[in-house]
A and B are shown apart, each in its own frame.
Chain A
């Protein structure tokens, strides 16, 4: 069975500090992995995705994520966050079918 686990429900961080949002997946087959961001009362916006190839994936807004097969992780990172990065972040996985599995979300709160 496939599952996606986001290890932190909330992450508070000061502006200009680095941040890492953790995501682990469970799958017995090859998996495609995604990070989405959701601002209040809006839909989800794709940040980045890993399908194959280089394990370091760069996305929009300065975010990047690294696929680690041995640790079954796909953590999202940003070296310096801004107030505007305050939002909820969702990790998701798909094994090639119609069903994408989403994590429960991590709320990133950037403080001045």
Chain B
């Protein structure tokens, strides 16, 4: 079965610093990949999704960006963090044979001070 890894698990960064969060997948090929953000006490906000290497769709205009350099790697980045970027970032995948069903990674807790 598939496994999703997210790194790091927790991160504390100052305002204005850069960001790189990594999501890697094992046990499957050619998944659709997603980045979500979950603010404290709120639901999930879709940030980006990718259907293949180098293919990124953005759902919310903001100072974040995403890249998919390899089939099983999905990276979330920022050049300059804002206080409002704090939250719990979740990577998710959809399997090729199981569309519309999302499986989530363990998440990265980001605190911007």
Contacts and interface: CB of A to CB of B under 8 A. Distances in A.
Which size class do B's interface residues fall under? 20 to 34
A53 to B, nearest CB: 15
Contacts, number: 51
B64 to A, nearest CB: 17
Which size class do A's interface residues fall under? 20 to 34
A96 B43 contact: no
Nearest to B36: A102
A42 B59 CA distance: 23
A49 B6 CA distance: 25
A94 B92 CA distance: 15
Given A99-B59, A105-B42, 13 more contacts: A34-B101, A34-B102, A36-B104, A41-B109, A43-B6, A43-B104, A43-B107, A44-B92, A45-B104, A46-B102, A98-B49, A98-B57, A100-B102
